[in-house]
Amino acid sequence: MAGAVRGRRCRGAVLLLLVASVLAPLVLYGRFPVSPLPDSIVARGAFDRGDGSGPSLVWPHMAASEVSLAKDLTIERLGEHKNRVLSATDDWQAVEVARSHPSGKKIDTWEDPASRDAHQVVAVGNDSAQSTQDDMIKEVVSTDGRADGFHHPGDSKVAEEQDGQGMDEKELQDASEVEHKDGSDASENNIAGTHPAANLTSSLEKESAADTLSDHASINADLATSASSTGHSATSPDATIRIIKDQLIRAKTYLGVLASRGNHGTAKELRARMKDIQRALGDATDDGMLPQNVHGKIKAMEQTLGRIKRMHDGCSGAVNRLRTSLHSTEERLQSHRKDANYLAQLAAKSLPKGLHCLPLRLTNEYYSSNSNNKDFPNMEKLENPKLHHYAVFSDNVLAAAVVVNSTLVHAKKPANHVFHIVTDRLNYAAMKMWFLANPLGEAAVQVQNIEEFTWLNSSYSPVLKQLESSSMIDYYFGSGRARPGENPKFRNPKYLSILNHLRFYLPEIFPKLNKVLFLDDDTVVQQDLSALWSIDLKGKVNGAVETCGESFHRFDKYLNFSNPLIASNFNPHACGWAYGMNMFDLSEWRKQNITDVYHTWQNLNEDRLLWKLGSLPAGLVTFWNRTFPLDRSWHLLGLGYNPNVNEKEIRRASVIHYNGNLKPWLEIGLSKYRKYWSRHVNYDQVFIRECNINP
C-alpha cells in the first residue's frame, strides 16, 4: 500500500511539473510582448533597467509581425517541451514497473530486481538496467532547472497548500533514492520553471529530506566500504555474506561500548538486529542460500550501526575499543585453539562404530568356523629372499587391507610379493580371518601375533621395559585432566604400544630376509614398487624420503639440542626423513649392529630429556648417517593434516601417506583425499556391509 501511494505521489509530482511548465510561459507571455530575439538577448534585456539598478519587466516596443512570429516560436517550443515531459513520465512508469515483481508485489527499495550482487545491493544507484530512464529524467531536470540552483523561501509552503499535505520523511527518502541514482548533487536535480509553482516539489524535498539524504548517503558509504574491504568483486558468490559478517563484527564492538555507557535501550535494539541478521545468515556459504529479505535486514542493521556510530564514535574511543576487542579476540582464539587441539586428538583416538564392529564380527567368524584348515596358501614364499617382502604392523584390519590391496592392484607381477602383517593379540583372529575370507591369489600373506615373539621382552628391549613402567603409564595416561601446558598427543595410546616400536626389530622378526619394505597402515600404494628392491643404498641401512621441504622439519624440531649429549652428536640443521615407506637393508643392519645403537639411545632417554615421544626421533638418532635419500616421488606426506597438498603431486606419487590425525577412515578425515583410500575398499564385502561401513 505504501509503495502504491508513493508511486502515485511521484507521478503527481511529474504531472505538476508538466502543468507548471506549460502554464508559466503562457502567463508570462500573455501579459507582455514576446521578442523573436535569441534567448540569451531576451534574458539579458528583459530584466535590465536602463539605469542598471535592478530587474524590470518593461519590454521594448515590438512590431505586430514580430509578436506573431514570437508566438509561433513559443508554441513550437512548448510542444517540444510537452513531449519531453510526457516521455519522462512514461519512462518513470517503466522504472516503477521494473522495480516490481511480475506478480505486481512491490520490491523494497533496498533490493535491486535486476541483480542480486552485493555491490549492486549496497550501491543502489549503480543499476545499469535503469540507466536509460534515469538519464531521461536527469535531462528533463537539468534542462528545466532554476537558473540560480538555490532553494527559494516560500516554495515549501506553496507546495503544501497546493498538494493538501506534505510528504513524510520516509516517502521523501524513498523518492530521493530513485531520483539520485546517478549520484548527482541535489541542486542539479532541482526541478523549476520560470514560475515559483514549477519548483514546488523539489523545494519541498530539499527542505524536508536534507538530513535523511545525508544519513542515507552515510549508510551507503559505510556499506560500500564494508563491501570493498572484503577484497572481493561484485561477482563474488559470498560478497553479501562477507558484508553480514563485517556488520556482526562492528555490532559486537559497539555492544560492549553501549553496555559500559548505560545505553541499555540501544544495546537491546542492537542485540535484536544481531539475532535477526544471524538468523538470516544461518549456515549459508554463498549468497544464493540467503533468504529473499536479507537485504532489508542488512539495511536495518546498517541504519542502527550508523546511528550508534554518530553517537559514540571518536578517534581515541575507536582505538581503545579496537584494542580491547583485539585483546579479547586473541584470548578467545588461544582458548579455541587449545580446545580444537584437544578435540582433534580425542577424535583421532576414537574408533568409529563400523571399525569397532568389523574386528568383532571377524573374530566371531574365525572361532565359530568349522574349517580345520586356517592356514594361508603359498607359505613357502615367506622366507624366500629373492621375492619382494613387505612389513605392515597394525591393529586396524581395514587399514592393513587397503595397504595390501593397493599394492597388489598396481603390482606388475603379484606373485613376487609377500606381505608380513604383525598385529596384537586382540586383533590377531580378526586380521587372519579377513585375509582367509579375501585371498590374495598368487601373492603370499602372513599374519603374526606379537605375543608369539617370546624374545621381545623387557629384559631385552629397553623401550618395552619403559613402556611397562608405572611412571611411563602415568605420563601417558595420567588420571584426571591433562596437566597445564601438556600436549594432549602425549596421551595417545599408540605411543604406549610396542607395535609402534616394532620397526626397530626387523632383523629379529625376519632373520632370513635381506631387504624389507616397511609400510605404515595409513599409506596407499599407487604404483608398482618393484624398482625399490633394485635401488643401491650405497652401504646405508635405511632408504627414505627426506623432509626438508617448506612445511617439514629438521633435526632441531624433534630433538632437544639444549642437552649436550644431543648437541655434541647431531647437527640441528640436518635434514629429517619420513617413516611410513622405508626400504631397510637387513644385511647392512646386522653388520652395523643397528639394534644395539637403538638400545643405547633408548636407555639414555629413559627420563625423556633427549626427546619426548614417538618412534621418529628414535629413528633419527639410530639411523644418523645411515640413511639413503630416495626420490621424493616415492613417498608423499601430508594427507592426514594438510588440506593444500597439490593434486598433481598426489597422482604422481608412488605412495601417499595420511600421516597426522585426519585419517581417511575417520569422520574427521579430509574428504578431498578420502577417495584415494576408499577406492581400495570393497564395500560390497559381507563383513563390511554387515557393519555398515560406507564410503
Average pLDDT over residues 44-65: 43
CA distance 99 to 129: 11
Enter the DSSP assignment of 527. Answer: S
CA distance 349 to 280: 37
Strand partners, 393: 422
271, 407: one domain: no
pLDDT band at 70; cut points 50, 70, 90: low
- Label residue 385 left, alpha or beta by phi (over 0 means left) and psi (-120 to 50 means alpha): alpha
* Beta pairing class for 542-544 and 581-585: antiparallel
576, 452: one domain: yes
In angstroms, how far apart are the furthest CA atoms of the chain?
135
Is the model's pLDDT at 46 over the cut of 70? no
* Per-state percent for the chain, helix, strand, coil, to nearest 5: 55, 5, 35
Is the model's pLDDT at 434 over the cut of 60? yes
**CATH code for position 478:** 3.90.550.10
Average pLDDT over residues 498-507: 92
Q: Is residue 168 part of a domain?
A: no
Q: Is residue 180 part of a domain?
A: no
Is the model's pLDDT at 62 over the cut of 60? no
288, 390: one domain: no
pLDDT band at 315; cut points 50, 70, 90: low
Is the model's pLDDT at 390 over the cut of 90? yes
CA distance 498 to 422: 11
Instruction: Summarize pLDDT for 206-243 with one digit per residue, the tens.
Output: 444 444 444 455 555 555 555 554 445 556 788 888 89
366, 298: one domain: no
- DSSP structure string for 362-403: HHHHHHH---S--PPS-GGGTT-TTSEEEEEE-S-HHHHHHH
Residue 244 φ then ψ, to 5°: -60, -45
In 3D space, the residue among 377, 410, 395, 394 whose CA is nearest the CA of residue 680 turns out to be 410
366, 465: one domain: yes
488, 373: one domain: yes
Average pLDDT over residues 283-297: 86
Which of 77-81, 289-293, 478-482, 648-652 is least confident?
Answer: 478-482
* Contacts with 483 (C-beta within 8 Å, 6 or more apart), sequence order: none
pLDDT band at 372; cut points 50, 70, 90: confident
Which of 3-12, 85-94, 686-695 is least confident?
Answer: 85-94
Which CB contacts under 8 angstroms, 24+ apart, belong to 165-172? 166/204, 166/208, 167/9, 167/204, 167/205, 167/208, 169/208, 169/209, 169/212, 170/2, 171/5, 171/6, 171/9, 172/205, 172/208, 172/209, 172/212
Yes or no: say if 636 and 650 are a contact pair by the CB < 8 Å rule: yes
More confident residue, 390 or 33: 390
CA distance 172 to 216: 11
Is the model's pLDDT at 65 over the cut of 60? no
279, 369: one domain: no
- Of 282, 297, 313, the last residue of a domain is 313
Average pLDDT over residues 321-330: 81
375, 309: one domain: no
- Of 259, 287, 313, the last residue of a domain is 313
Q: Is residue 466 part of a domain?
A: yes
Q: Is residue 23 part of a domain?
A: no
Which of 75-84, 154-163, 275-284, 626-635 is least confident?
Answer: 154-163
Q: Is residue 135 part of a domain?
A: no
Strand partners, 655: 525, 635
Q: Is residue 531 part of a domain?
A: yes
Enter the DSSP assignment of 167. Answer: P
302, 419: one domain: no
What global pTM score does this model have? 0.56
Q: Is residue 214 part of a domain?
A: no
251, 359: one domain: no
CA distance 587 to 512: 10
Domain span holding position 655: 353-691
Query: How many separate domains does the chain show?
Result: 2
308, 360: one domain: no
CA distance 70 to 435: 110
